[in-house]
């Protein structure tokens, strides 16, 4: 992951600024404690897709889409979602369904996700938004209070079964998608526990390497890095309420202590990264089987 972000050929390094904000965007997208509304789903999509494709972020699609087959026409497509004119009403219906309290939380999340992917309300980014939607539902229902259950880990380990479960759902049977999401939740919990332990271990090693005063901002930045391993001074200023000068001094000290490595993103902007956390996230990605899914 570190190589992808910072050691790529010229032209790709501009992505680092987007990556630096990506974790904050995902956290904001799924972090609310209330059930999704139509507007919050649009906002979620805008947060997730805005940095990479702002022209379509946060708005329902106004063109037909299809999955599989030709890029130019839907003949031979594996699935053709509803025409764009039906999308707003179908999403309103989904929002109403998500308020039901007589449906178990995991079942509600699974069925809502499957229906969202069936409606396919956006021109792009439906997979990311649909997975974030499940997290939002589980947080609202109190299943995950203090963190994000990595549901995608279980889903992306076996994408063939996932797509087959969506097909089965569209044929009128919810069992396959509910079972798959339930297994994904268990797998995600296992991976999340492992990742949490490894991050805690890294955080402990940093304590012995920091030479700053006990009241310095450096220590608070360490706590941010375990959940957001790529930062710039704006992110730290926003989180800790520090001045730019004090923030940059603290980040530079952490670089001197061997915890951070910096890269010049533009002539006036730098980003700092934790190689240890990024390497750990690479290992997490391998364990989760995330490669190759949008």
Sheet holding 269-273, edge to edge: 230-232, 269-273, 261-266
Taking the mean position of all CA atoms in its chain, how far away is CA 131?
8
Is position 125 annotated in a ligand binding site? yes
Catalytic residue among 120, 135, 204, 211: 120
HSE (side-chain half, CA atoms, 13 Å) at 251: 27
Bridge partners (DSSP) listed for residue 27: none
SS3 268: coil
SS3 106: helix
Contact 270, 17 (CB under 8 A): no
Active site residue 45: no
> Which residues have C-beta within 8 Å of that of residue 147, sequence separation ≥ 6?
192, 196
Is position 128 annotated in a ligand binding site? yes
Is position 15 annotated in a ligand binding site? no
| Tokens describing residue 212 | 């700053």
Contact 88, 60 (CB under 8 A): yes
Distance CA 116, CA 95 (A): 10
SS3 64: coil
Is position 130 annotated in a ligand binding site? yes
Is position 124 annotated in a ligand binding site? yes
Is position 127 annotated in a ligand binding site? yes
Secondary structure letter of residue 82 according to DSSP: P
> Which residues have C-beta within 8 Å of that of residue 18, sequence separation ≥ 6?
51, 52
Q: Which residues are annotated as a binding site?
A: 124-131
Q: Cite the active site residues.
A: 120
Q: Which residues are annotated as a binding site for ATP?
A: 124-131
């Amino acid at each position: 992951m570190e190589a992808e972000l910072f050691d790529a050929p010229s032209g790709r390094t501009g992505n680092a600024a987007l990556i630096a904000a990506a974790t904050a965007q995902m956290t904001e997208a799924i972090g609310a404690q209330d059930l999704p509304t139509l507007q919050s789903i649009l906002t979620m999509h805008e947060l997730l897709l805005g940095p990479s494709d702002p022209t379509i972020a946060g708005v329902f699609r106004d063109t037909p889409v299809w999955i599989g087959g030709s890029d130019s026409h839907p003949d031979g497509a594996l699935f053709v979602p509803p025409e764009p004119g039906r999308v707003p009403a179908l999403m309103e219906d989904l929002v109403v369904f998500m308020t039901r309290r007589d449906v178990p939380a995991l079942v509600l999340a699974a069925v809502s996700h499957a229906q969202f992917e069936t409606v396919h309300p956006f021109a792009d980014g439906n997979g990311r938004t649909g997975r974030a939607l499940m997290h939002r539902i589980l947080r609202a229902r109190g299943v995950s209070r203090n963190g994000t259950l990595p549901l995608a880990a279980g889903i992306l380990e076996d994408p063939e079964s996932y797509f087959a479960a969506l097909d089965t759902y569209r044929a009128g049977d919810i069992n396959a998608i509910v079972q798959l999401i339930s297994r994904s939740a268990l797998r995600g919990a296992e991976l999340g526990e492992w990742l949490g332990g490894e991050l805690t271990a890294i955080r402990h090693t940093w304590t012995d390497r920091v030479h700053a005063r006990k009241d310095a901002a450096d220590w608070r930045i360490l706590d941010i890095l375990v959940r957001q391993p790529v930062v710039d001074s704006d992110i730290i200023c926003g989180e800790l309420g520090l001045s730019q000068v004090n923030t940059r001094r603290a980040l530079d000290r952490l670089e001197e202590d061997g915890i951070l490595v910096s890269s010049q993103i533009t002539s006036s902007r730098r980003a700092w990264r934790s190689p240890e956390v990024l390497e750990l996230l690479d290992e997490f990605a391998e364990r989760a089987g995330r490669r190759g899914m949008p």
